[in-house]
Amino acid sequence: MIPFFSSLFHKSHTAVLHVTSTNGFHLRPAAVFSTKAKTFSSRIEVETRGKSVDAKNLNALLSLSLESGDHFDLVCRGKDAKDALESLSVLFEDLMQEAPLQQDTPPQTAKEIYAGKCVDAEPISLGIGVAPLWYYRQSETYDETKHTDFHEAARRVSAMLQHQYDNTGNADRDIYLAQKALLDTLLGQADSFEEMEAAVAKTVEQLKSGKMAAKIVDYHDLLRRIKTQMGYRMVVDYPADAFILAADDLLPSQIDTLPPQTAGVILQKSTQNSHTAILLRTASFPSAIVRTQLPSEGETVILDSLAGSVVLNPKEEDKTVAYSRLDAEQAKRANACEKRFEKAQTKAGTPITVLANVSDVDSAEEAKENGAEGIGLLRTEFLFKETAPTLEVQTDTYKKIFSLFDDITVRTLDVGGDKALPYIDLPEESNPFLGIRGVRLFKTHPDILETQLRAIFTAAGSRKLKIMFPMVSTPDEFIHAKAFAKQVAGTYEQDIGNIDFGMMVEVPSVLFTLAKFNPLVDFYSIGTNDLLQYLFATERTHPTLRINPRDEALFEAVKTVFEQADKPVSICGELAADTEAIGKLIALGADTLSVSPVLISAIKEAVRHV
């Protein structure tokens, strides 16, 4: 007889249980409780406020939101009801003895969530996976009948990369273009596969621990691609059941071949800005970088990149918690996605505008589809990567982007530092982040800026538009850039009365001179990425040095801007996309956030919880 019907023939056993812990009956004790309940065959219910839920169902249990001071009836019916009641009552008493949760720590630290040992994981892509570890390995086979000579193999790889570039509908396409460019350079140095291997080894040696270290995987990927064309086959014997992949690093082309049973990916020597990391994010595999030693193959772990952690040797209750967090996360994402076109406002009713950071037509369209209310940052340096665009091509591209939204902020070229364009010659500098960059190009490359501004003005026509200058450090730089823009408009008889001029706040000197900028600018946009690197004298692309992206000094800087600016201020750096920081930013006065297109719905949802 199935348990439900058999339970009807048994007397019920009931106890009244009181929630005494100041933390309430929250996720962890509820998970322990429901896991224990499942060990009994009896029907076990929690009844309170006219509602009755199955105690074996964690989500149902949590839906009661039992707080300190609440009580409920625990009702057990079935063969082992008496034992169940006794055992669950004792367990519940125990669970109510836990220490109060620290209110000043974020609610989702791994140690609060999981009972097992947690190691730090730097999230690459947010998600949760529970499965045995599997260490990536591949074997190589050679099929003589498929042999192709080196030059033909390289030609095919080049054509394949071009094909992938042409047929990838998002910003990842640039990865293939970049690899193609690397291949062209290597072919200039090598006439055989062996020579190419030697050239790669030399380049990799130079790149190691430099700020371009993230490129190393691309070089190895090219060798792999060519080898595959020369008759070699890389065979990977993936486990048949769900697994969490562990590796020092993966190559971009290996991401495409990960099977659906990949529950997560842990990399030990990768970097956040590598192409591998970018593709993992696009493919949405829960993934993270873990720099400490991992258990042996076959050991089950929980990869919870939402909590920035890997749980080693998880107990059953930890797994239950992980599964329920996963369910909750999926439900949260679906709910946020449904509401993506709705305006976001805080619980107190403050409306917050959520805009997108985009870099081309595709990402602008993606932003529209994802519910962005406008573009808060158009990074124009990524629009034309290979050759200098003609005035017509530029105008046309801006027109396409401008047609999508009413509220658009275009940033003039921010080349220099880690951003290079092959058609813009910059001097060799030992500290490029402190050299010719951003607004400084107005003086060094006026022709390029003139064409850019002329194209933007033409594309804008009479529509309202905001133009901002990057890397401004003194009022004179702003005055010069704006005067230059006016002069371009004058030369080509363009009316720019509809255009506002503003600036990025990303160089610390601005924090101390806002009173001087106020009469000059129409708006500000805080670039927390550069602001952080210049505040802490730590390159944003540095392979080993890390700054806490939520350091108090950064919030103090943001606070200064909101206190002293008398023009509208938005935030477009990564801090605006940090759901843990949003409450604080809004409290400081932020009402406009600009974030990556994929994050729009999640950020709107985070605002609704502030």
Closest to Mg ion by CB, 21 vs 533, is 533
Which residue out of 480, 542, 572, 609 is catalytically annotated?
572
Residues that bind ligand PEP (CB under 6 A): 377, 379, 414, 506, 527-530, 572-573
Which residue out of 76, 275, 480, 609 is catalytically annotated?
275
Give the CB-side neighbour count of residue 352, counting CA atoms within 13 A: 32
127 binds, among ligand PEP, Mg ion, none (CB under 5 to 8 A by kind): none
Q: Is 381 in the site for Mg ion (CB under 5 A)?
A: no
Stretch that binds Mg ion, among 171-179, 208-216, 324-332, 505-513 (CB under 5 A): 505-513
Residue nearest to Mg ion (CB): 530
337 flagged as catalytic: no
Alpha carbon dihedral 159, 160, 162, 165, in 10-degree steps, equals 170
Closest to Mg ion by CB, 221 vs 530, is 530
CB of 426 to ligand PEP, least distance (A): 16
Q: How far apart are CA 245 and CA 449, in angstroms?
A: 47
CB of 529 to Mg ion, least distance (A): 5
Closest to ligand PEP by CB, 285 vs 469, is 469
275 flagged as catalytic: yes
Q: How far apart are CA 356 and CA 115, in angstroms?
A: 38
Closest to ligand PEP by CB, 346 vs 529, is 529
Token output for 317: 């209750």
CA-based radius of gyration for the chain: 28
Q: Is 530 in the site for Mg ion (CB under 5 A)?
A: yes
Assign 481 to helix, strand or coil.
helix
CB of 545 to Mg ion, least distance (A): 18
Stretch that binds Mg ion, among 143-151, 209-217, 285-293, 522-530 (CB under 5 A): 522-530
CB of 382 to ligand PEP, least distance (A): 9
Stretch that binds Mg ion, among 80-88, 253-261, 459-467, 525-533 (CB under 5 A): 525-533
Binding mask 39-78 for Mg ion (x = CB under 5 A): ----------------------------------------
CB of 506 to ligand PEP, least distance (A): 5
Contacts of 315-321 with CB under 8 Å at 24 or more apart are: 315/115, 315/116, 316/35, 317/28, 317/31, 317/32, 317/35, 317/115, 318/114, 318/115, 318/116, 319/130, 320/31, 320/34, 320/35, 320/58, 321/27, 321/28, 321/31, 321/113, 321/114
310 binds, among ligand PEP, Mg ion, none (CB under 5 to 8 A by kind): none
Closest to ligand PEP by CB, 275 vs 325, is 275
Helices 150-167 and 193-207 meet at what angle, rounded to 10? 60
- State the alpha helices, DSSP H only, in 339-435: 361-369, 391-402
Closest to Mg ion by CB, 352 vs 439, is 439
Instruction: Quickly list DSSP for 257-295.
Output: T--TTEEEEEESS--TTSHHHHHHHHHT--EEE--SPP-
Which strands sit side by side in the sheet containing 309-312, from one edge to the other?
A: 117-120, 309-312, 300-304, 128-135, 243-247, 262-267, 287-289, 122-125
CB of 555 to ligand PEP, least distance (A): 15
Q: Is 527 in the site for Mg ion (CB under 5 A)?
A: yes
CA-based nearest residue to 132, from 253, 293, 245, 7? 245
- Residues near Mg ion (CB under 5 A) are 506, 527, 530
| Residues labelled as active-site residues | 275, 572
